[in-house]
Structure 1
């Protein structure tokens, strides 16, 4: 594997700087001080994002298939595990996305802290979460990856359990137990792979080279362990049941980070670890992955149509959208994996934006029950139009980023890897295409119910535009004194949402901006997979 190690301090600083910020917040501020932790958190997240921008600038895009900013230092020599990190065209978009999302979520939180308060603990946990997310994308050693992969668990557990909704304790425990269940199988699979390859090193490069020589039956069993670990994290059907509960109960910030980044740790694990290290295992499991992905697409869409809560509907849409990502991965082709990687970023931007909107709607109306929401375009026209834009992006409208995550993934199933059944994958392609129709149905239904028509009597007269004593206002005022004034998009929301909206358009109009970065690395990855599958 070729490596480039110039500016090799960038990844280490960009990954661990948030931990320093978390320590500043924990030991340098008081619990009663709400303002200082916010300033420190935003400052450290901003500097971390600046380092991410410097990484983008320093990255050699002509050699995006090679590992860059490479570091290989001794770490735990007794188990042959090193501090090995690097970045290529596959991990660069997700690594940078984790920095941007964390920074924008912190800005959003300035005016939108969850009801439980305690900015000190909240901002410290978000910074720790950022380290775990970024580290997972740069790790080039299985033990290092596992450590970063697990670091994200505790902050998200507390974020849901402390700042979540009424059933937060149940949702946080379910999230933790499901993920730990998957992680246990994943760790066993990592250890099995390590010993089967001669117990020399946990480095990706060594395991990719040595893993191809393992017997097919052994590869299939080791892949099964990785499949369980990563499938729970994605989450794939039928391991998805923790996701709607976690999303529904999590605070807005937790939902955005969960949708935008944490779900991608599972799909990234398949692409970076499972496929190249166990090519024959991947070939054997690919039809299973493809079938489950398509079931997830249809099931997620039908689940959306049955929801009465806006946030839960968006959560089920994630199950469907990640199904397209997994369908692309299951083809074992560069076309499909490129589509999957693009779909990861597009889903992060679009669904993250939808959860931002759901949080702001709940902040104003104190409910996300769809039948109680109506007339948003009258009461809050800017918020209503942004919701419409995000809904169109989510259903895959051409010209927006969501299209390039779904359409190529469906198309890739027409010509899967030569070792796979064309007939099966073409059937999966047709079923997945039907899922796009269902996606349009549930998203347009959601938008029509919430944005069109007149405001319900319960909330009529609370917007700035309707102050002045309408009959609806006088009739409903007595019953609604507990509701704050309904207002349109505020400054902190504009600042945190605008980059999402711009990126959705830019990548929708010019997807090559991302594809040209990812494709050389993906092509090399698929060549490695193909070389490990007997003709």
Structure 2
């Protein structure tokens, strides 16, 4: 398997884009799109190959891990360039490739500093790929930071509503989380004797329980900041609203998953005693985030803020599933990461590329009747909204029911608390759909809209 070529192709694509003349916008877009397609193709090929060999792999090695690269890197720190994939990381790598391609298509109309936009975009994509493959804690942190830094420039330069504020807030929260993660990584490294950053080696030699308790809290909270955990969630809606459409798709669809993945791959894997100690507190925060995000989404008047707070609520399901400490809950959390990545990307594409670009407003009170003006956007939002509500037949239903069953096994009260968000989710999705697409102006619809000529979104709905 050559999954790591997704990283190299994205970095190479960014370098090629930067070497092209600024005026060659068409060529720049084409190179970026081809780069994204190469990464997606490699990810899909390796995903289906892994699906064929996983049972044999487990029978022969006792593990579902496929090693990609293991080379010396920073000898002084005993850090190695160690990459691997398994059944958790591969679907997220496919998700990243998919959101990359669709994000590039939805950014096709960007004229301002096109070269820099796609270069930053591809570097961010490379960082995300790297996080999902890194099996060395220090390497994981490097890729993690590589994915954070371009976000600031993408939002601050190409964003819209209060873009500088949104970019700064996002980056400050991200670096706060990164600081906690870095402290936890160094603490784990030195507590284990300062001999390795290898995740599997550290997991084989667990630290003392008291040490795990405080290191786990640092690592989990640090990663959970990027996952939008309440009360560290406020960067997410602000950042989503300020970001251009492609960046919103990336933030909600992929970048927030980096935090949840870090919680699972690093925090939970290395410090199980710490997880057992803090699980009830974290489950409580997850429930608050689920209900708070849904309730605030219900009263929003800005279409994009609704989807932003919806992401906070749905990521709460991910965190709740992770801390249940049972197979159903964790499996549901992983599926929810993938499902929400697709659904959130789809909904942000509707809000930004299909509605805002044609009406130049996101205020619900200023919209109405768009089902006739842009019917494809209406159908797409209905499909994405149904998936977001957890309707049977959609991936969101399977993910959320697994999380709820896992939470019920931990405590029926947790399952009840999370389930209370479902009718609220139905309410804000139906309210948004009614305000934007069903209610009509006096002239029968919003005068500034027309049917989308770009067909980039046509590939999105079936996957939800």
TM-score scaled by structure 1? 0.83
Task: Name the counterpart of 1:427.
Answer: 413
* Counterpart position of 1:204: 199
Which runs of structure 2 are paired with 1:274-293 in the superposition (5 Å)?
274-293=267-286
Q: RMSD value over aligned CA atoms? A: 1.5
Provide the rounded CA distance (Å) in 2 between the counterparts of 1:499 and 1:144.
34
Measure the CA separation in 2 of the matches of 1:353 and 1:427. 32
Pairs within 5 Å for 1:12-411: 12-27=4-19, 29-59=20-50, 60-62=53-55, 63=57, 65-110=63-108, 112-113=109-110, 117-211=112-206, 214-359=207-352, 360-411=354-405
Distance in 1 between residues matched to 2:365 and 2:90, nearest whole Å: 41
Instruction: List per-residue Cα deviations over 1:455-475 (Å, max 9, x = no partner).
Output: 355964x4xxxxxxxxxxxxx
Residue aligning to 2:455:
492
Counterpart-to-counterpart distance in 1, 2:168 and 2:221:
19
Q: 3-state DSSP class of the match of 1:83?
A: strand
Q: Secondary structure at the match of 1:74?
A: strand
User: How far apart in 2 are the matches of 1:31 and 1:48?
Assistant: 24
- 1:177-199 deviation digits (Å, cap 9, x = unpaired): 11101111110101101111111
Select between 326-335 and 41-50 the one with higher mean Cα deviation. Answer: 41-50
- Quote the Cα distance in structure 1 between the aligned partners of 2:435 and 2:415: 31
Deviation at 1:388, TM superposition (A): 1.2
1:491 is paired with a residue of what secondary structure? coil
- Do the aligned partners of 2:4 and 2:133 also contact (CA within 8 Å) in 1? no
User: Alpha-carbon deviation of 1:166?
Assistant: 3.5
Counterpart of 1:420 in structure 2 is none
1:252, distance to aligned residue in structure 2 (A): 0.4
**Structure 1 residue matching 2:3: 3-state secondary structure:** helix
* CA distance in 2 between partners of 1:188 and 1:281 (Å): 16
Query: Is the contact made by 1:381 and 1:488 (CA closer than 8 Å) also made in structure 2?
Result: yes
CA distance in 1, matches of 2:48, 2:335: 20
CA distance in 2 between partners of 1:17 and 1:164 (Å): 26
Structure 1 residues not aligned, in runs of 5+: 1-6, 417-424, 463-482, 505-535
Cα deviation, residue 405, structure 1 = 1.8
Partner SS state of residue 73, structure 1: strand
Match of 1:415 in 2: 409
Q: Is the 8 A contact 1:378 1:454 kept in 2?
A: no
- In structure 2, what is the Cα distance between the partners aligned to 1:137 and 1:408? 23
Match in the other structure for 1:516: none
Alignment-derived partner of residue 452 in structure 1: 438
| 1:17–1:44 contact (8 Å) kept in structure 2 | yes
SS at match of 2:76: helix
Judge conservation of contact 2:187–2:215 (CA < 8 Å) in 1.
yes
Alignment gaps of 5+ in structure 2: none
CA spacing shift, 1:99–1:306, aligned 2, 3 Å: same
Secondary structure at the aligned position of 2:460 is classed as helix
TM-score by length of 2: 0.95
Q: Distance in 2 between matches of 1:235 and 1:379?
A: 35
| Residue equivalent to 1:438 | 424
- For residue 390 of structure 1, report the CA deviation from its aligned partner: 1.0
Corresponding residue SS for 2:409: coil
Q: Which has the greater radius of gyration?
A: 1
Q: Distance in 1 between matches of 2:176 and 2:317?
A: 24
1:325/1:405 contact within 8 Å kept: no
Q: What whole-Å deviation, never above 9, does each CA across 1:57-81 have from its counterpart, x for those lacking one?
A: 4322323642114321100011010
1:132-176 deviation per Cα after TM superposition (whole angstroms, max 9, x unaligned): 000000000000100000001121111100001141011101111
Q: 1:306: Cα distance to partner? A: 1.6
Q: Is the 8 A contact 1:376 1:455 kept in 2?
A: no
Residue pair 1:255, 1:355 contacting (<8 A) in 2 also: yes
Contact 1:16 1:131 in 2 (8 A): yes
Match of 1:522 in 2: none
Aligned length: 456
1: CA distance between counterparts of 2:382 and 2:124?
A: 30
